[in-house]
Amino acid sequence: MDWYTILRFVHIVSFAAWFGTVFASLFLLKTLEPKLTDATGNPEKYTKLLWSYIKLETKVADSAFKITVVSGLLLAFLTYTWSIPVFIKIALVILQVFMTMGYIVKAIQPLKYPCSTSDYKKWYNLFAISLSMFAVVLSVSFFLL
């Protein structure tokens, strides 16, 4: 195996790990929805569980994201050169991060539990943004560039 194959493998695996953390969070939040939107239960316990999970998930997602970015930049620098397609991919990833983080700050962080089902749907809007951007990045990378 040469260094290009290893670097490309690391890039793909780290992207998959980043993508996977988003899906895992979606499934957890779907599972916790009845507990976090029902005032008669024990939402404090599930709120602690949610935030503990989010802390751990953020560590994994941040590490995977950083490895994806570094390996992608190394691939661009060492093999593909700095071309328009590389800058488009970089711009899309930056857009994804800003859209996701902006929505988290604006809509997710202010949530208090228990919350209404309509407020809880803000979580699903976050995943719609994130997964849509993943789809755009992958589509542009594989089909348009």
pLDDT tens-digit map of 34-51? 999 988 878 899 999 999
Tokens representing 39?
Answer: 């005032």
pLDDT tens profile 100-121: 999 999 999 999 999 999 999 9
pLDDT tens profile 75-105: 988 887 788 888 999 999 999 999 999 999 9
How far is residue 64's CA from residue 72's CA, in Å, rounded to a whole number? Answer: 12
One-letter amino acid of 26: L
pLDDT class for 74, splitting at 50, 70, 90?
A: very high
Number of domains the chain contains: 1
Tokens representing 31?
Answer: 């599972």
Positive or negative, the CA dihedral 81, 82, 85, 86 is positive
12, 90, 102, 107, 116 from 122: Cα distances, Å: 29, 27, 13, 7, 10
Q: For residue 8, with 0-12 CB atoms within 10 Å meaning exposed, 13-18 middle and 19 or more buried, which class applies? A: middle
Per-residue pLDDT at 78: 87
Per-residue pLDDT at 116: 94
Domain of residue 109, residue span: 3-144
